[in-house]
Amino acid sequence: MAGFVCDIVTPRALLVSEEVEIVVVPGAEGEMGFLKGHASLVSVLADGEAHVKSAEDGETKRYALQGGYVEVTGDKVIILADRALLSSDIDVEAVRQQLASIESKLADLSDEEARKTTLPADKAWCDAQLKVAAA
């Protein structure tokens, strides 16, 4: 079956651009899967994981995603994520340490102050990575 192109883009770089068969993303209201020829769609994504099945070797890759959107147009799926990482690249130990340091910093701040920093987002990212790594 002919595939379609899926891009995963973060502000830092274009992470992946490959021919795929099916893409499953964590939509804000539940998981969504896209096959070739899906209607145009723009959706907010929840933090979570995306499955991407490559058209070439049929292998499924998993990515941890945070704070993104997905844009589906005729023959292309673009996942715009604030942060994204391949599941096999997640360093669980490092993430745990990071999470611990973020939590200790957050504990010192009031909710009001915390909102002006990126700490809540960092924490969510750590959680998302751990969940994907554990799955």
Partner 1 sequence: MPNLHDIERRINSVTSTKQITRTMQMVAAAKVRRANERVQAATPYADSMVEMLASVAKRVGGTENALLRKHDEIKNVLVVVVTSDRGLAGGFNSNVLRHVKRLMRNKQAEGASVQVVACGKKAIGHFTYRKMDPVLSFADLSADPTVDEAAAIAAFAIDGYVNGDVDEVIVVYNHAKNPVEQELCQETVLPVDTSTLESELAADDVPADEEPVLEGDVIFEPGIEAVLDRLLPAYVRTMLYHALIDSAAAEQAARRSAMMAATDNATEMVELLTRLYNRVRQGAITTEISEIVGGAAALED
Number of C-beta neighbours around residue 21 at 10 A? 18
Helix ranges (DSSP H) in 3-118: 92-108, 111-114
Helix ranges (DSSP H) in 26-134: 92-108, 111-114, 119-134
Number of C-beta neighbours around residue 20 at 10 A? 23
Q: Closest CB to partner 1 among 55 and 69?
A: 69
Is position 11 an interface residue for partner 1 (rule: CB under 8 A)?
yes
Helix axes 92-108, 119-134, angle to 10 degrees: 150
- Count of residues in contact with partner 1, rule CB under 8 A: 33
Question: Cβ 122 to partner 1, closest distance in Å?
Answer: 8
Question: Cβ 43 to partner 1, closest distance in Å?
Answer: 4
Is position 92 an interface residue for partner 1 (rule: CB under 8 A)?
no
Structure tokens at 79: 């996942």
Question: Cβ 90 to partner 1, closest distance in Å?
Answer: 18
Interface with partner 1 (CB under 8 A), residue from 51, 53, 71, 123: 71
**Which spans of this chain sit near partner 1 (rule: CB under 8 A)?**
7, 9-14, 27-29, 32, 39-44, 67, 69, 71, 73-74, 76, 78, 80, 82-83, 115-118, 121-122
